[in-house]
Amino acid sequence: MKPITIIKTGSTFPDIKTNHDDFETWIAKGLGHATRAIEIIDVTLHHPLPQPDSLAGAVITGSHDNVTDNPHYCSELESWIRRMVISEAPLLGICFGHQIIAKALGGVVDFHPVSLEVGTKEIQLLEPGQKDMLFQGMPDRFKAHVFHSQSIRKLPEKAVVLAKNSFEPYQAVRFAPRTWGVQFHPEADDAIAKCYLFHLADNIRKSGQSLNQLIAQLEKTPYAAALLEQFGRILSAME
């Protein structure tokens, strides 16, 4: 049985890691496939990327890096993403992962022209999303946690927008038949989301938003969380 690979592009804040583990743990738990091997490839530590045909599929994590800073691992990761798309091995990018897939395929990523998007927000599933296998069984509107100041500003060719909201037009995108990205965080629960709000407090205030209001608006996000489990089911169905 081929493994699922989690491409780790960074770590959470140290105190969150101590109390809640790290990005890859949240994603592995969300996938819900304990009987399948999950391997972690940390590109920030120069771990070699696997051959696409050796994988059941892969998830690219979020990161505290900015795509526009072109971290040292990005060139190799972008090349690998293009190989994954050609191989049609299922691939899901989250936040930074979503953005780096877009860049690898010819899109443009930059800072959002308004401010950062943080907290629990409503996501609207569009008609293509309602028909997409990754969003099977999802309602037309659902809540998700978001934490980002950069966004996809221009989509790659042939990309299909699956979900949006009033702040972010590309909350979910199908970049290729088996390649998806989501700007929101299906792996983060409300406790993790609250921790992030406190860490981003200065940036939140500078953006003119209320930290207390954002904390009060936090909700559980079961539908967003179900997305990772659905991705795991897709991997099993395709083997």
Residues catalogued as catalytic: 95, 185, 187
**Separation of alpha carbons 157 and 155, rounded Å:** 6
Say which amino acid occupies 76. Answer: E
Burial of 210 (0-12, 13-18, 19+ CB in 10 A): exposed
Q: Are 150 and 65 in contact (CB under 8 A)?
A: no
Structure tokens at 103: 């860049």
**Separation of alpha carbons 73 and 78, rounded Å:** 9
Taken as a whole, the chain contains a residue count of 239
**Separation of alpha carbons 156 and 136, rounded Å:** 24
Say which amino acid occupies 220. Answer: K
